[in-house]
Structure 1
């Protein structure tokens, strides 16, 4: 891959999990960003321990050769909370713009079960026609707001949400305008379908509108147990259903090949939520960085 086009980042969720803060509560912001840089990454997404004052955050990152590439943002359009979503979006947008980011990763969280103590392979939200229209209208509006600041709105498909499966991703991409993009997450497609080909198919189908990539690997045996034993999303995380690229069962060769052939420009972000007490964050960051280097030349 071309170093001029593709940059490498890592998400702080491997050090502290924002959905379950007790995972990694002992890991500080300073430790997190220092180990990211030590492992050889040049970018980071935003975590709950990160200062939200750019005057504080920028120097801390610059000292380590890091920059912010994206932040998670939850939307609630399907359930009718559009006004609140847009107001909060403006605040996050302003922050990311001040940090120089070009992408904002949004996840439609209406009815999401990802943080609930119920089976992640159980009853997830399925949007009706009205809810899909609300989502489409909402994301189209967000994209217009973001474009004024040179930022792309990307949908982050996610387990336990109304936009999880390949079919739901297809539907979303079909109902929104062309200036709404996709945050492609290898692990969430694989976890949804337990199928390698599904990951490749989603990537191939939407290559032209992918502006951000999350590299997450999966352990199939753990996912199968999570499904069989009716375990929750966070329960699965604690048991190790996700890991860094090269440490699980996803074949990344066709993924890297498709991205390279398409001329992908943007960030590839290692995002692998695990229990840091079990999976040492620095050790796994180094493992991911070595795998990417060996398989992409980056």
Structure 2
């Protein structure tokens, strides 16, 4: 069983500013974001699209004793081919190495409907067998590049993409090498996708090397599904929130992670409109839940 002190707790910048809709939270500066993270008692964050070059970012981090866990990378292996993707991913990993990150978060975006005005609940993209082979081969190669930079590639299953459900994730993991390809386990995305979050945790616990704690407001999820909303409209409506404010039992999730020796980052992530859900208020709410329901009970 993991010593809870081996867990690093972070919170993602997406509660302050959103890369998919840059106008949301645009007035929240890097200094504002990092200082809020300090006030809320978290140890670090992930790199947002608006973050600066490593030398500037490292100075801001050092002033606050914060760390970077990782950064999202949109791969287009099927659409653009492996060679172009490898070149871009190498630059991505170089940046992460310079900011002392531990993971490179990868999500295949070929055919993604995350930003499209179609129902995210009825239009999940699919890959042909040939495309699956290309994807698995390519992700393996990206994993080798990550290793060369002393990083772990963690694949992010995501609503609106071809790797969303437990069966999709299983196919990807079975088609890739466990030495190079690991899993980012996101409670919110798998719950909205499959209606449960524990089967994925139990099935692939040995491949999980990064975790997102994303809670779900079930009544809003049900409404979004009834209205066949797109992904962006769903999160603007409030489908996601921080742990303790939705329906997911994070005590159960945390217990399984510890019992199986997990010792990486757990990053609170909740896409919300910061003009409605005050970022610091929700960061403090998440920290209170973690301290009262998780950490002190281990």
Q: Pick the TM interval, shorter chain.
A: over 0.9
Q: Residues 112-158 of structure 1: CA distance to partner in whole angstroms, max 9, x if unpaired?
A: 00111111112121111011001111011011111112111111000
Distance 1:78 1:54 in 2: 30
Question: 1:24 is matched with which residue?
Answer: 25
Whether the 8 Å CA contact 2:4–2:258 is kept in 1: the answer is no
Question: 2:288 is matched with which residue?
Answer: 290
TM-score, length-scaled by structure 1: 0.96
Distance 1:113 1:96 in 2: 27
Q: Residues 62-103 of structure 1: CA distance to partner in whole angstroms, max 9, x if unpaired?
A: 111111111000111123432221111011100001111111
Question: 2:157 is matched with which residue?
Answer: 157
Matches within 5 A, 1:1-298: 2-51=3-52, 53-179=53-179, 180-193=181-194, 195=195, 198-297=196-295
Q: Residues 219-274 of structure 1: CA distance to partner in whole angstroms, max 9, x if unpaired?
A: 11111111111111000010000000110011112101100101101000001010
Whether the 8 Å CA contact 2:25–2:274 is kept in 1: the answer is yes
Whether the 8 Å CA contact 1:78–1:127 is kept in 2: the answer is no
Aligned residues: 294
1:295 Cα deviation after fit: 2.1
Query: Any stretches of 5+ residues in structure 1 without a counterpart?
Result: none
SS of match in other structure, 2:77: coil
TM-score, length-scaled by structure 2: 0.96
Structure 1 runs of 4+ with >4 Å offset? none
Distance 1:83 1:115 in 2: 25
Alignment root-mean-square deviation, CA: 1.1
Whether the 8 Å CA contact 1:79–1:131 is kept in 2: the answer is no
